[in-house]
Amino acid sequence: DTAVSQTPKYLVTQMGNDKSIKCEQNLGHDTMYWYKQDSKKFLKIMFSYNNKELIINETVPNRFSPKSPDKAHLNLHINSLELGDSAVYFCASRAGTGRYEQYFGPGTRLTVT
Amino acid sequence: GQSLEQPSEVTAVEGAIVQINCTYQTSGFYGLSWYQQHDGGAPTFLSYNALDGLEETGRFSSFLSRSDSYGYLLLQELQMKDSASYFCAVAPSDKLIFGTGTRLQVFP
């Protein structure tokens, strides 16, 4: 019955590797997001998709590439991982117009060594 | 630019009332939201104010003054489980811009 799910929960990898994080929501929401939370707990939006279309790209390095195969899924692929990419990545979703609450997934803690 | 300021930490005892303030500067504004995040957990939605005034949801209330670019979250009858980080967030468009977060510690 999980509303927004992410896999994996933990990801430990070495610099230079490529990795993916998957996100799925079963709420029927139209809009999905990726956020990055750094070690100081600062939450920053990275991307937003509405019905599989990219609508927000917050000047994220192009090593990060989101992909939305359908409106229930939003995956994040990261190429050439760097130490500074270590963070917790949250996926979130939001219902349509007029509903502002966002529902967050459990997060993926990425550690780059 | 866009920024939201919150106190970094607040402490209180069980049963007390605490207020977490948020001042913001944004280029557009659709409303002020509050999220709670326990250590190791995900942010969870608490409240949303689009218009000036007070919104009450159980022990939690949220206030907004758009003319002052200011809002607050009021937590009453504090419980130990309220120990968490609290984030205000504004929606200048379809995205959320989060504040720096306030860590609330509730002591017995």
pLDDT of residue A58: 83
3-state secondary structure of A84: helix
Whether A57 has a pLDDT exceeding 90, the answer reads: no
Cα–Cα distance for residue pair B68/A13, rounded to 1 Å: 46
Tell me which of B30 and A14 has the higher pLDDT: A14
Per-residue pLDDT band at B108 (split at 50, 70, 90): very high
Minimum CA–CA partner of A55 in chain B: B94
Cα–Cα distance for residue pair A82/B39, rounded to 1 Å: 25
Question: What integer is the mean pLDDT of B31-49?
Answer: 95
Whether B81 has a pLDDT exceeding 70, the answer reads: yes
H/E element holding A76? strand A73-78
Q: Using CB atoms and an 8 Å cut-off, which of residues 36-95 of chain B contact chain A?
A: 37, 41-45, 48, 50, 85, 87, 91, 93-95
Per-residue pLDDT band at A60 (split at 50, 70, 90): confident
Cα–Cα distance for residue pair A88/A46, rounded to 1 Å: 12
pLDDT of residue A1: 66
Per-residue pLDDT band at A99 (split at 50, 70, 90): low
Selecting from B31, B87, B100 the residue whose C-beta is nearest the C-beta of A100 gives B31
pLDDT of residue B28: 76
